[in-house]
Amino acid sequence: MRNPHDIIIKPLVTEQSMDGMAERKYSFKVARNANKTEIKKAIEKIFDVKVEKTNTLNMTGKVKRMGRNEGKRADWKKAIITLSEDSKEIEFFEGM
Enumerate long-range contacts of 37-43, CB under 8 Å, 24 or more apart. Answer: 38/1, 38/2, 38/7, 39/7, 39/8, 39/79, 39/81, 40/81, 41/1, 41/4, 42/4, 42/5, 42/7, 42/8, 43/4, 43/8, 43/81
pLDDT score at 90: 85
Whether 60 is covered by a domain: the verdict is yes
Whether 27 is covered by a domain: the verdict is yes
pLDDT score at 72: 96
Q: Is 93:24 a contact under the CB 8 Å cutoff?
A: no
Range of the domain at 56: 4-85
Whether 92 is covered by a domain: the verdict is no
96 residues of the chain, pLDDT tens digit each:
689 999 999 999 999 988 888 899 999 999 999 999 999 999 999 999 999 999 999 999 999 999 999 999 999 999 999 999 998 888 777 666
Whether 67 is covered by a domain: the verdict is yes
Whether 14 is covered by a domain: the verdict is yes
Whether 50 is covered by a domain: the verdict is yes
pLDDT score at 1: 63
Instruction: Look up the CATH number of the domain holding residue 32.
Output: 3.30.70.330
| pLDDT tens track for 54-67 | 999 999 999 999 99
Whether 96 is covered by a domain: the verdict is no
